[in-house]
Amino acid sequence: MPPISEPLRSLGFLTIGLFDEADPRRGHETTLSIIELGEQLGFDSAWVRHRHLQYGISSPVAVLAAASQRTSRIQLGTAVIPLGWENPLRLAEDLATVDILSGGRLNPGVSVGPPMQYDRVRHALYPDTSEAEDFSYERVRRLLAFVRGETASDFSGTEGFEEFSDRVQPHAPGLASRMWYGGASLRSAQWAGEQGVNFLTSSVVKAEESEDFDGIQLSHVRAFRAHHPDGDRARVSQGLVVIPTDSASPEQRAKYEAYAQKRLPRTSTPQGPARLMFAPDIVGSSAEIAERLYAQAAFREIDEVAFALPFSFDHDDYVQILTDIATKLGPALGWRPSA
């Protein structure tokens, strides 16, 4: 195993929060129970994915508002909110509200680009402005400005019986320092650094300079920090799919291995017009997973992770995986659970 330069400081997990169309409450309650379990196991953070017009979490801010009332310590993040679906001012209000309710634990991760399947949804989403909407980094800049407390109106004061503010209310001090940008390209990594936000890198990157996933991800981490005011201290969180099998049953192990094997072919070459490269899912004992992680140069440069739970497993599988990550894999990576 390569030498460990720094112990893992922050251990998190990411869930997509799938649900049955016929019983959506059950799926959302399961997601909340998983977040509660994460806090009990000592995880530092829990993150939720974002899905529109699908059977996954469509309103992560609402889900995390509920989670904030069932937990007291664990950091709560979004990975990521696609801003093409959002009005930055309104989203800033929602984020600030949940951050206040959570006691300053919200970690909003966002990204830009046109909404998924935009041609099919544009007339429902932006019936009058679909051709004029700006899905560039400027949308993130607007959100960051509102979160940081910059003016959103040219008026503040009293009008009649109403009191008005010229900035988003409530204002959540500290929230701006917990904003994250999720990027898969070198340009996004550099841009996130220039904006002074934190950087989320996942199991998907763009094959721009090579077809070596680890090398590409390493270049993103270094480019981000090279352009960030905090330099090497700038926060990067890596999200890979890892499935420890230490306490898994034989049936679970077979399921996990079949899942990873089915997804493996997409990792060999860039996929689609965007030339996306996917990291292989890592299945095995915690000792085996730790060895494979430390063999990756990008992993050795970070001290925060948010391991992604597979999309379609059962609740009992998630309990086993999270328990093994917290009690076996995390310690093998030098991490210690929060009190």
Residue 83 and residue 111 in contact, taking contact as beta carbons nearer than 8 Å: yes
Whether residue 113 is contained in a domain is answered as yes
Identify the pLDDT of residue 72: 98
Residue 111 lies in a domain: yes
Structural domain contains residue 91: yes
Torsion sign (Cα): 45, 51, 175, 303: positive
Asked if residue 1 is part of any domain, the answer here is no
Which CATH number characterizes residue 275's domain? 3.20.20.30
Query: What does the longest C-alpha to C-alpha distance in the chain come to?
Result: 70
Q: Is residue 322 part of a domain?
A: yes
Cα 99-105-108 angle, rounded to 5 deg: 70
- The residue type at 233: R
pTM of the entire predicted model? 0.96
Contacts for 26 with CB less than 8 Å, ≥ 6 apart = 19, 20
Helix, strand, or coil (residue 214):
helix
The parts of the chain modelled with pLDDT lower than 70 are 1-5, 339
CA atoms within 13 A on the CB side of 258: 8
- Write the DSSP symbol of residue 302: -
Q: What is the pLDDT of residue 4?
A: 52
Tokens (6 digits) for 200: 């989320």
The predicted pLDDT at position 209 comes to 87
Which residues, including other chains, have CB under 8 Å from residue 198's CB and lie 6 or more apart?
A: 107, 178, 179, 180, 181, 192, 234, 235, 236, 237
Give how many domains the chain has, as a whole number.
Answer: 1
Please report whether residue 5 resides in a domain: no
The count of other CB atoms within 10 Å of the CB of residue 94 is 19
Q: How wide is the angle at C-alpha 236 spanned by C-alphas 63 and 226, nearest 5°?
A: 140
In a domain, 16, yes or no: yes
Taking residue 130's Cβ as centre, other Cβ atoms within 10 Å add up to 15
Q: Residue 288 belongs to what domain range?
A: 10-332
Does some domain include residue 97? yes
What's the confidence (pLDDT) of residue 338? 75
CA atoms within 13 A on the CB side of 11: 25
Helical spans, DSSP H, in 42-176: 60-68, 88-102, 118-125, 138-147
